[in-house]
Amino acid sequence: MSITSLLLVILLGTVAAYFLGDARSRQVAKPIGGVRHLAALPSYYASMVSLWALIPGLAVVLFWSIFDGPIIESLVRGVLPIETKNLPPEQFGLVMSQIHNIVAGVGSIEQIGLEYQPAVQRLQSLEKVSSAWMPILTIIVLVLGCLMGLAAVTAKRNARYSVERIFNITLFVCSSIAIFTTLGIILSVLFESLRFFEKVPFFDFVFGTHWSPQIAIRADQTGASGSFGVIPLIAGTLLISFIALLIAVPIGLMSAIYLSEYASTRVRNIVKPALEVLAGVPTVVYGFFAALTVAPSIRHWGDAARDWGAANDIAWLAGLSVSSESALAAGIVMGIMIIPFVSSLSDDVINAVPQSLRNGSFGLGATQSETIRKVIFPAALPGIVGGVLLAASRAIGETMIVVMAAGLAANLTINPLEAVTTVTVQIVTLLVGDQEFDSAKTLAAFALGLFLFVITLALNVIALRVVKKYREQYD
């Protein structure tokens, strides 16, 4: 029985339990003079009984699906030849997955050797037992839960109280998911990073200026020396983010200023959503746009400029070379993407500047632009800085645009016409495709992830602090 149909059975059981609970409560109520004499409404008794059935049922399914894998694995391990058990973890994992494949019907026992026959048989029978017993056990538990729930339906018991308690606990558990997510992120990137730093020294990673994980794999599987230097990635990330901010900050800010200080309500109502469209376009679309439209035209213009420079003897122009995957293309498109982000943050911040300051300035005979530049902008500056930091964190964490348009060449350069690579590009590249478990290459992605997480988190925390402080100032 598949999980989906089992879940369906549980659902049906829960509904049945609800009606049973309802009937039972009315039955209990009859001799004592009607439902008015029960401690809670029948629907609460019904809900209580259905929860008593549902929760244990779900728990069985959940725990079974989490733990049957590892338990079966360890049992199968017992019948493996001793030399297999002593294999290093990577190769052992390979053998286990081959055994799994054979049980699943892919490949044959001859390919890996007959000494694994007992293991294959063991696995086969255990899986059969497991898949047969899971639904049976689930249904038994469900029915037992339902019966116990029915037995608990008494006139004195306040079912509402139990139901509401379960309700509260559920809410609390759901709220904690945010914490577990953060914890999950931290633990997963941290653990894998620590394993990475066992293979590659921390300082080689942080201060290394050379990044070429591919070579490391070919040379030796135990990792490499010197080819995991993160500096070029950081430089590339910063270069692209800088270009993006160079576009997004002035344009986003000026748009916000114009919309909030000059534009009529009608213009604002049209232009604002039009700009917001830029925020709703998926990043993969921007990536496509950057790679297929912007990068080729930059290259085209670069070549034209070079030819023109050569024709007119302008040495620096004649030496111009534009890579087909340039930092500039990725940066420009990323900048376009974060324009609405900057503009809506600035908009909030500018609107928080009290009207009295504007009046004060107008009252002295300042023009509107003087008021904006000399009073509103300085007053809003902390908030705008916060917004820029948030935008920077966006740019640093942005992935698809750079994956599609920035390329993989880990050049250490500040020339925006060259190809560079970024932290996010490398995370994706290292993890997409065939990955060797435990190789330095795979683990490096997590180290980069840790780096990215720490940087963006720090930027966000600082930015939110700054913005909050700023808001309190005018509240």
Partner 1 sequence: MNTAQKTNPEAAVEIPGKYQTVGHPLLDDPKMTVRSTSVFYAEKQAIFDVDLDIGKNEVISMIGPSGCGKSTFLRCLNRMNDTIDICRVEGDLRLDDEDIYSKKIDVVELRARVGMVFQKPNPFPKSIYENVAYGARIHGLTDNKVQLDELVEKSLVRCGLWNEVKDRLEEPATGLSGGQQQRLCIARAIAVGPEVILMDEPCSALDPIATATVEELIHELSENFTIAIVTHSMQQAARVSQRTAYFHLGKLIEVNETSQVFTNPEHKLTEEYITGRIG
Partner 2 sequence: MTEQITEATPMKDTTRSLREARLKKRHAAEKRFQWYGRLSIAFGIACVLFLFYDIISKGHGAFFQTYINMEIEFDGEKLGLTPDSSEEEIRAASFNSFFKKTLREKYPAAETRREKSQLYAVFTSDMPLILRDMVIADPSIIGTKQTVSMIADDDTDVYVKHALGTDSDISRMGDFQRSIVDDLHQRGMIEKKFNAIFFSNSDSREPELAGIRGAITGSFLTLMVTLLMSFPIAVATAIYLEEFAPTNKFTDFIEVNINNLAAVPSVIFGLLGLAVFINFFGMPRSVPMVGGFVLTLMTLPTIIISSRASIKAVPPSIREAAMGMGASKVQTVIHHVLPLAMPGMLTGTIIGMAQALGETAPLLMIGMVAFIVDVPGSVTDPATVLPVQIFLWSDSPERAFVEKTSAAIMVLLTFLIIMNSTAVWLRKRLERRW
Whose structure tokens read 């911040």? 349
Mark the segment that binds partner 1 (CB under 8 A) among 103-111, 275-283, 334-342, 370-378: 370-378
Give the C-alpha separation, 228 to 423, whole Å: 12
- Nearer Cβ to partner 2, position 169 or 219? 169
Identify any residues that bridge with 211 across adjacent strands, giving them in sequence order: 228
Residues in contact with partner 2, shown as a per-residue x/- string from 326 to 355 under the rule CB under 8 A: ----------x--xx--x------------
Does 456 sit near partner 2 (CB under 8 A)?
yes
Site for partner 2 in 241-270 (CB under 8 A): 250-255, 257-259, 262
Q: Which does 369 bind (CB under 5 to 8 A by kind): partner 1, partner 2, none?
A: partner 2
DSSP 164-194: HHHHHHHHHHHHHHHHHHHHHHHHHHHHHHH
End-to-end CA gap in the chain? 60
Give the C-alpha separation, 306 to 317, whole Å: 5
Give the C-alpha separation, 232 to 392, whole Å: 18
Does 435 sit near partner 1 (CB under 8 A)?
no
Question: Count residues contacting partner 2 (CB under 8 A)?
Answer: 89
Give the C-alpha separation, 154 to 451, whole Å: 58
- Nearer Cβ to partner 1, position 297 or 473? 473
Give the C-alpha separation, 194 to 450, whole Å: 10
Which residue from 148, 378, 432, 469 is in contact with partner 2, where contact means CB under 8 A? 432
- HSE on the CB side for 271, CA within 13 Å? 16
Q: Which does 360 bind (CB under 5 to 8 A by kind): partner 1, partner 2, none?
A: partner 1
Site for partner 2 in 398-417 (CB under 8 A): 398-400, 403-404
Q: Which does 264 bind (CB under 5 to 8 A by kind): partner 1, partner 2, none?
A: partner 1
Does 207 sit near partner 2 (CB under 8 A)?
no
Mark the segment that binds partner 1 (CB under 8 A) among 37-45, 168-176, 203-211, 361-369: 361-369
- Nearer Cβ to partner 1, position 165 or 374? 374
Residues 6+ apart with CB under 8 A from 385: 466
Nearest to 437 by CA among 89, 112, 70, 83: 89
Mark the segment that binds partner 2 (CB under 8 A) among 20-28, 76-84, 129-137, 392-400: 392-400
Does 452 sit near partner 2 (CB under 8 A)?
yes
Residues 6+ apart with CB under 8 A from 395: 240, 241, 244, 245, 248, 334, 338
Which residue from 375, 389, 406, 467 is in contact with partner 1, where contact means CB under 8 A? 375
Does 30 sit near partner 2 (CB under 8 A)?
no
**How many residues in the chain?**
475
3-state secondary structure of 228: strand
Which residue from 162, 361, 421, 442 is in contact with partner 1, where contact means CB under 8 A? 361
Does 301 sit near partner 2 (CB under 8 A)?
no
User: Could you give the C-alpha distances from 66 to 72, 74, 124, 134, in angstroms and in order?
Assistant: 11, 14, 18, 12
Give the C-alpha separation, 233 to 152, whole Å: 63
Give the C-alpha separation, 421 to 232, whole Å: 8
Residues in contact with partner 1, shown as a per-residue x/- string from 216 to 255 under the rule CB under 8 A: ----------------------------------------
Q: Which does 357 bind (CB under 5 to 8 A by kind): partner 1, partner 2, none?
A: partner 1
Does 362 sit near partner 1 (CB under 8 A)?
yes
Which residue from 30, 374, 465, 468 is in contact with partner 1, where contact means CB under 8 A? 374
Does 363 sit near partner 1 (CB under 8 A)?
yes
- Measured from the Cβ of residue 254, the count of other Cβ atoms closer than 10 Å reads 12
Q: How far is the CB of 30 from partner 2 (least distance, A)?
A: 26
- Nearer Cβ to partner 2, position 30 or 165? 165
Mark the segment that binds partner 1 (CB under 8 A) among 15-23, 52-60, 106-114, 368-376: 368-376
Whose structure tokens read 């199968």? 76
User: Could you give the C-alpha distances from 378 to 258, 373, 374, 385, in angstroms and in order?
Assistant: 16, 7, 6, 11
Give the C-alpha separation, 232 to 238, whole Å: 10
Does 58 sit near partner 2 (CB under 8 A)?
no
Mark the segment that binds partner 2 (CB under 8 A) among 140-148, 177-185, 206-214, 229-237: 177-185
Give the C-alpha separation, 397 to 453, whole Å: 9
Applying CB under 8 A, which residues contact partner 1?
A: 264-265, 354, 356-367, 370, 374-375, 378-379
